[in-house]
Amino acid sequence: MSRGIIGDRKVNDDLLKKGITSFLGAWLLFHEKADDAIRAMIGRSRGRSEGERDFTERLAIEVDSEKEVLKEKLEGTFADAMRTARKDEIERIEERLAAIEERLRNLETRG
């Protein structure tokens, strides 16, 4: 049986035929367009004085500022998490490889 991302390749093919790629593509496009709209609003708002900004513009600027603070605080955290994840994954692969090598040695000694 051919395995795919979700399991059986036929299941994956059926999902693709039923439009999952179209759904996910639309979802990504929606978020991309929303990000573009928010960035455009923030850009326009930053060019105005505080008194000229409406509530949503002030909120968008505050959220954007907080995002930048969080990016600075978490800058190393994501990289550390990725290194840790890779290290853990490598350790699991090494353990599985050692088990496979042991099984192979056992098979060779029997045969």
- Note the pLDDT of residue 93: 85
- Note the pLDDT of residue 66: 92
Query: Is the overall model pTM greater than 0.85, yes or no?
Result: no
Phi, psi of 54 (to 5 degrees): -90, 180
Residue with tokens 């036929």: 10
Q: What is the pLDDT along the chain (111 residues), one digit of tens a residue?
A: 455 455 567 766 776 777 888 888 888 999 999 989 989 999 999 889 989 999 989 998 999 999 899 888 888 777 777 777 777 788 888 888 888 888 888 888 886
